[in-house]
Copies of this chain bind each other. A is one copy, B any other.
């Protein structure tokens, strides 16, 4: 660290751009956002020195190669900074290829009249170049499909779309934390590896060390074969002999030293035997007991899975510290190849004590509205990009949802409305009948056609919902609710939880489930039970809703689905 005593370059830059860069990010360049995302578009910074760093989106030589224009983007905002480099300053051929990394120092100037830019950088020094061979670069400047980009998941953040999605996703994540913290909720890290099943949530991935352990044993046995039965027998015989020697010496009242020595020999023989017996038991393959896999040998001494929901676990905290939420990855090992499902996705799950279904709906509505307003307040430039390139209605959709009260109808009313629609000529592929779950097309009809705004459907038939949802007084429905929104349909699913010990125990039995795995969950009702409720929001669904992007694989940095887990 010979340069540790030199003044860091970022301080120089910050000094020259101090009003624009109140929050530096520990790098030695100023974020382009701090220049361009100002009300004046950056023009007020004319005359200032700045060091910027980023990647060339477009580069072209001009004036017979005497200078070059570069459009530079550093990911801090969707806008590119225009940069002018003179051929005296650098080898322009090295700078112009798309994807080239550059760190540049220069002076901000107002460009000539009639250009789009409000400010540009006249480069005086090229501090760094990370070159690109255009012949080999996997992301040529031509318009690339999102499908193509899924095959270069490690480079796709360099594209305008995926970087805009990253900024929107980041904004929604921080908005989520801000909303719940503001309302006094505690963020609880529920476990990823679980031995509980959130009943009915779906197929689970298994987490194990048995396979790698079996492979290790297999290799070890090849390198170092196990003892034969004859070797074991010989070792047993030796123990017997040495034992007899000890007995003889003792009965002959031999000297203490002789007895001690013979005991030591016996101990050694016994140790050798038990070592051999241990190795004799080593078998290739996954350990079995009674024809089944013996999970006593697995890492957690039992079968373990990846969580499908943190709800049941976070309830242990709601029933102790009141309002809580989880926000973490969840998993489904389902072989579904749709544009709406991932094997690994993120869920937001609040859980509220001393609250019922109405409170749950109030919270869900306030949260979704908060997210919409947050994007409008903090990501309008990225939303403009989305409106231009993917879904021209996406900004209006955010505004509508943020400002309109959500419609609230019971499941029974929803079915009536759908039956009416069918009578009026509307065709659905799936049957509409009280007692059957609403299909996606029904949900989309209610929110997109019938009400044209978010709809909360509540009080579902108990037969189609999980055991933990609170039984209503009609004994036919449970206090469940789904929030349906235009573009994606179901965004949120929640319920008031059954807090009555006898009722929930009966519901578990009624559904043919064993009580034993739920004893801990029943304890929450046995000891100081509390009225409580909660919901889950599929985080990627919210991003689809916000951006108008169609495929869920494009709104998570590293999508996992059947046959695919790159990196």
Contacts and interface: CB of A to CB of B under 8 A. Distances in A.
A514 to B, nearest CB: 16
Interface stretch (A27-35, A117-125, A248-256): A27-35
A379 B270 CA distance: 58
A299 B343 contact: yes
Given A301-B563, A313-B567, A169 B189 contact: yes
A163 B321 contact: yes
A28 B363 CA distance: 12
A24 interface: yes
Interface stretch (A180-188, A393-401, A436-444): A180-188
Contact of A74 (B136, B187, B322, B333): B322
Contact of A352 (B25, B316, B346, B366): B25
Q: Say how many copies of this protein the assembly contains.
A: 2
A125 to B, nearest CB: 14
Interface stretch (A200-208, A225-233, A239-247, A546-554): A200-208
A358 interface: yes
A70 interface: no
A208 B204 CA distance: 9
Contacts of A358: 1, 3-4, 8
Nearest to A183: B25
Nearest to A472: B1
Interface centre among A27, A100, A138, A209 (most CB of B within 10 A): A27
Contacts of A299: 205, 333, 335, 343, 562-563
Given A1-B458, A312-B567, A188 B166 contact: yes
Nearest to A212: B206
Interface stretch (A60-68, A170-178, A258-266): A170-178
B207 A205 contact: yes
A344 interface: yes
A408 B4 CA distance: 10
Interface residues of A, number: 135
A408 to B, nearest CB: 7
Contact of A528 (B100, B410, B529): B100
A209 B333 contact: yes
A293 interface: yes
Given A207-B206, A313-B567, A333-B299, A28 B191 contact: no
B154 A359 contact: no
A357 interface: yes
A333 B212 CA distance: 11
Contacts of A28: 354-356, 359
B527 A313 contact: no
Contacts of A133: 526
Contacts of A4: 358, 408
Nearest to A159: B320
A75 to B, nearest CB: 2
A321 B160 CA distance: 10
A526 B136 CA distance: 10
Nearest to A559: B191
Contact of A26 (B24, B100, B359): B359
A317 interface: yes
Interface string A274-317: 00000000000010000001000001111010100000110011
Contacts of A137: 527
Interface centre among A3, A300, A344, A362 (most CB of B within 10 A): A300
A184 B31 contact: yes
A411 to B, nearest CB: 11
B31 A130 contact: no
A44 interface: no
B527 A138 contact: yes
21 contacts: A8-B359, A23-B183, A24-B183, A24-B184, A27-B354, A27-B355, A31-B184, A54-B322, A99-B527, A128-B531, A131-B528, A133-B526, A138-B527, A154-B316, A154-B523, A206-B207, A207-B306, A212-B333, A300-B562, A304-B565, A313-B567
Closest 9 CB pairs of A and B: A75-B321, A157-B320, A130-B529, A101-B528, A53-B354, A191-B558, A26-B363, A300-B565, A27-B354
Given A169-B189, A301-B563, 13 more contacts: A8-B362, A25-B185, A26-B355, A53-B530, A99-B528, A100-B528, A136-B526, A158-B320, A173-B187, A193-B205, A208-B211, A316-B557, A329-B329
